[in-house]
Structure 1
Amino acid sequence: MSQVQSVERTLSILESLAKFPEGLSVTQLAKEMDLAKSTTHRLLNTLSTKGYVEKNEHSGHYQLGIQCLVIASSLLNNLDIRKVAKESLQKLAETSGEVVHLCVCDSNEAVYIDKVESEHTLRMYSQIGRRAYMHCTGVGKALLSGFTEQEVNQLVEEKGLPKFTETTITEQDKLQKELNTIREKGFAIDEQEHESGIRCIAAPVFDHDGMVVAAISIAGPADRVTKERVNGELAKEIVIQSKTISKKLGYMK
């Protein structure tokens, strides 16, 4: 067995065990990988010694070991959301022709941490490092969709729901209904709620624990970012890219 083949088989064992949380016996794993039982057993012994695989003494099945979690946690904890999201932001900007944002929540405010400019000249509120209210922006509402009812109550108490335009949501019960809709559809719409003449669609980004850790958005003039576009092509594209980024962060749903 060559060294490369050995590594490949070892990784295949880990990938196979990842598909079966309840574990597999040596015989089952050998059949799954189309390997000799003796070869499979030898590789499992090496992985067990290093902590990447452990044997359940009751069932006799082999399962992923704690060392896999240590490696995964180290990777996930060191992921830079901006680097992870960069390719998706570029794709959204190219397909939509509009400005694209990446935001996170900090102190109950949406903070713009990355931006890809539109192919058109567009003056709007957003710039990297700037903060915005969450109840009246697409990214803010996408982030809020990950809040519990108690957390939303705290935000309203702390920040209030100030009115910016005629379409700003200023009542908490309406905001809560809006968040329920966002959770169902997978995206949020800013119907000129923060800036008159600017329409936005946003979607939440999830981490490996299923927590909303960021939001991405597409924004532009209401006459170009029409309701038809928002509920059609743009909704489809932004949901695809939010899922892509979430998957890179370890979200498995």
Structure 2
Amino acid sequence: MKDNRSVARTLAILELIAKHDEGLTLGQIYRMLDIPKATVYDFLQTLYRADAIYYKDPRLKNYVIGSKMFAIGSVYTKNSNLIEASQFELKDFADRYGRTVFITKRINDKIVYVYKYQPSSSKIVTPQEIGTVSRDFEYGPIGKCYAVFDKTVRNGNIPDFDEIKKNKYVYSSLEDNSHICTLATPVWNFENRIVGVLVASDLAMDGVKRDAIAKDFVEIAKHISRRLGYLGNFDE
């Protein structure tokens, strides 16, 4: 079936704007997408009237994603198979260990937080909320997890690549002077691809049984992967 060109162009415009937090002008958009200026203008005006985009700075007329897209995207948290399959065990893990847990997904060149649960016993206040975006695929444990296990963004130059691949998890370093310790592990689905990364955060403390906690977290990720139809070998 042939794609509808108007729909394809609308999505291309929204995806392009979403990649630029500082916003994009009409001129930037039509040149970057190589679409006629008048056509882009019509699309932008329609999206603007629908609150799908708005001006970050009315003087510059630079477009950013608007409230309508946030409202539509937030429905994902209610209908996501990943969240539905994950939240019971994640909440149990969080309550047992006093750690704040998250689910993240990779959307093109962004890592998006789509779920958060903070138990009453948590000792930290995390700045990340649902909708938080990161573009770090190199230094942080979450990005490293994607860079090792997600074939689309795989980076063989990631430090400890082979060890991470073997262990199926990534911890933040105790030497980075951060007071927060972050643990990340991947989840697969029925298409044998990484569908998300689970995250657990707590105070960084020496002496904590990091490996034992990580192995428990990895087992949870395996259970979730099976629920999502993954039939592959976790030891590959």
Class of the TM-score when normalised by the shorter of the 2 chains: 0.5 to 0.7
Match of 1:112, SS state, is strand
Match of 2:229, SS state, is coil
Q: CA deviation at 1:219?
A: 0.9
Contact 1:104–1:143 (Cα < 8 Å) also in 2: no
Letter in 1 for 2:113: Y
Counterpart Cα distance in 2 of 1:108 and 1:192: 27
Q: Structure 1's 116 and 247: CA in aligned 2 closer, same or farther, altered over 3 A?
A: same
Q: CA deviation at 1:93?
A: 0.4
- 1:229 and 2:232 aligned: no
Contact 1:190–1:200 (Cα < 8 Å) also in 2: yes
* Structure-2 residue corresponding to 1:191: 173
For structure 1, list consecutive stretches of 5 or more residues without a partner in the other structure. 1-77, 154-171
Q: CA deviation at 1:195?
A: 7.5
Q: CA deviation at 1:204?
A: 0.3
Letter in 2 for 1:230: R
Counterpart Cα distance in 1 of 2:88 and 2:197: 15
- Structural mapping, 1:186-225, within 5 Å: 186-191=168-173, 196-223=178-205
Counterpart Cα distance in 2 of 1:195 and 1:216: 23
CA RMSD, 1 decimal: 2.4
Sequence identity percentage? 20
Q: CA deviation at 1:122?
A: 1.6
Match of 2:199, SS state, is strand
Contact 1:192–1:200 (Cα < 8 Å) also in 2: no
* Structure-2 residue corresponding to 1:251: 230
Give the structure-2-normalised TM-score: 0.57
Letter in 2 for 1:107: N
- Structural mapping, 1:40-51, within 5 Å: none
* CA deviation string 1:183-239 (max 9, x = no partner): 11111112268881111111100011221110112111112xx4642212x112101
Give the structure-1-normalised TM-score: 0.54
* Structure-1 residue corresponding to 2:144: 141
Letter in 2 for 1:218: A
Match of 2:172, SS state, is strand
Name whichever structure is richer in helix by fraction: 1
Task: Report the count of equivalent residues.
Answer: 152
Match of 1:145, SS state, is helix
Q: Structure 1's 129 and 81: CA in aligned 2 closer, same or farther, altered over 3 A?
A: same
